[in-house]
Amino acid sequence: MSPEVFEKIVALCKRRGFVYPSSEIYGGLSGFWDFGPLGTELKNNLKAAWWGRVVHRREDVVGLDSAIIYNRKVWEASGHTKNFSDPLVECKKCHQRQKSEVRSQELTCPSCGGGEFTEPKMFNLMFKTHVGSTEGEEGLAYLRPETAQGIFINFENIVNTTRLKLPFGIAQIGKAFRNEITTGNFIFRSREFEQAELEWFCLPKEADKWFKYWQRERIAWYGELGMKKENLKFREHEDKERAHYAVTAFDIEYRFPWGWGELEGIANRSDYDLRAHGLKYRDEETGEELVPFVIEPSVGIERSAFAFLLDAYEEVRDQRSEVRVVLKLHPKLAPYKVAVFPLIANKPELVKQARKIYSALATRNSLLPVAWDERGNIGKRYYSQDEIGTPWCVTIDYQTLEDNTVTVRDRDTTKQERVAVGELPSYFLENLS
């Protein structure tokens, strides 16, 4: 995948309303992004697809939505206040900081050109905040850098209220914040993002079996949503890069334009977190108490959305040999599933019938988000919908007025077929999978 594709995707995201730089009218803020109308739909679709596969398809996984700010003792117990950090060096001339690993690749400071740096010092990546009216040590708190701890500190609550038995999982999707020193590559590395995390609790002796199970399960999810197999691989973490809580960790990596990069992490957290918080599991039948091991698949929603956009991006030539863009997103992920428009926008009878069909599709089935478009000629409307990934376009023409059928055009093949208006919902729902 060429670097040019990266630039084209970034431009497309801004132009068509997927992603905007946050605070743009004031010069922006590095590492923060706003998701526009189409980006919001794409993210929501991704979260629904993850939740559907990880939670709704299973009887052994339940969900949680915990607070963003916890008592800071949570982070002291979990080890984040001591271990969640990166080594930084500081330029002695301009005092700009950067990761020591980046510094080792550069001879001069990228900010001022200076060549003298301090020795590496550890910098904690958690955002600090204060709770209450004072800003002293008493009110110190942190924005969560991961959603997992919310699951762990609610472990006993959930076991007591659901009566789940090992093995079982607790899932959560929510915001996380990391004060990354080096951001970049668009939304690949940012300071505010959403995580979809599963904490799978199991017997210690079965941890390796479940670790392999969730490796297979998670990489299959990407294939289910149409991601190309050749763009995915597993990579095991080296000892020096593993998180302080992990005994084993693998990344599912994606072939980004700049090379392979982490898409999702799968870690064996052992019993580290539950022991840190003094929590146990008690089997009601046998009375046995134990501390379960935890297998954790964790994916960033924005990062995976970016990968799906890259994977779906194609440039094709039309009949006039002009290059145009088609986003071949899986129908489950596409912001709009269907676009409806009249063949000719200045013919009231066609517009009236098209509006009627649009309203029927838009109001009767929440699984089929529908777009309305009457701008330009029919060809430009098709190409416009192709560019944002809409799988099907419905055109209302003069034959519709005669026999109540419409033309349905497929995004990927550009083939068209006549479908009765009354059959449209079932037609799309059958092809949605």
Q: Is 41 labeled as ligand-binding? A: no
Is 369 assigned to a binding site? no
193 labeled binding residue: yes
One-letter amino acid for residue 143 of the chain: L
99 is annotated as contributing to ligand binding: yes
Q: Is 294 annotated as a binding residue?
A: no
Do you know the residue count of the chain?
433
Residue 124 annotated as binding? no
Tell me if 282 is assigned to a ligand binding site.
no
Q: What does R_g of the chain's alpha carbons equal in angstroms?
A: 25
Strands (E), 48-191: 61-63, 85-90, 97-99, 121-124, 128-130, 140-142, 168-177
Q: Would the annotation count 6 as a binding residue?
A: no
Lookup result for tokens 């059958």: 430
Asked whether residue 167 is marked as a ligand-binding residue, the answer is: no
Place of tokens 């192709």: 386
Task: Say how far apart CA 331 and CA 196 lie, in whole Å.
Answer: 21
**By the 8 A CB rule, do 406 and 357 touch?**
yes
Distances (CA, A) of 141 to 124, 166, 277, 342, 374: 13, 33, 18, 56, 52
**Is 135 assigned a ligand-binding role in the annotation?**
no
Residue 192 is labelled as binding a ligand = yes
Angle at 432 between CA 431 and CA 433, to 5 degrees: 95
> Residue 188: phi, psi to the nearest 5?
-65, -45
Residue type, 188: F
Taking residue 27's Cβ as centre, other Cβ atoms within 10 Å add up to: 7
Distance CA 21, CA 184 (A): 12
189 is in an annotated binding site: yes
Element housing 299 (H / E)? strand 293-300
Q: 7 labelled as ligand-binding?
A: no
Residue 298, marked binder: yes
Residue 152 labeled ligand binder: no
* Helix (H) / strand (E) containing 431: helix 424-431
Largest CA distance in the chain: 80
Whether residue 230 is annotated as binding a ligand: the answer is: no
Residue carrying the six token digits 């670790």: 211
User: Is 317 known to sit in a ligand binding site?
Assistant: no
Is-contact 339 371, C-beta < 8 A? yes
261 is in an annotated binding site: no
Place of tokens 């799906």: 308
106 is in an annotated binding site: no
178 labelled as ligand-binding? yes
Pick from 415, 410, 412: nearest CA to 428:
410
Q: Which residues contact 277 (CB under 8 A, 6 or more apart)?
A: 74, 77, 78, 152, 153, 155
Residue 296 counted as an annotated binding residue: yes
On whether 179 is known to bind a ligand per the annotation, the reply is yes
Tell me: is residue 146 an annotated ligand-binding position: yes
- Could you list the residues known to form a binding site for substrate, using ranges: 99, 146, 193-197, 296-300
The binding site comprises 99, 146, 178-180, 188-197, 262-263, 296-303
Give the residue numbers of the binding site for ATP: 178-180, 188-193, 262-263, 300-303
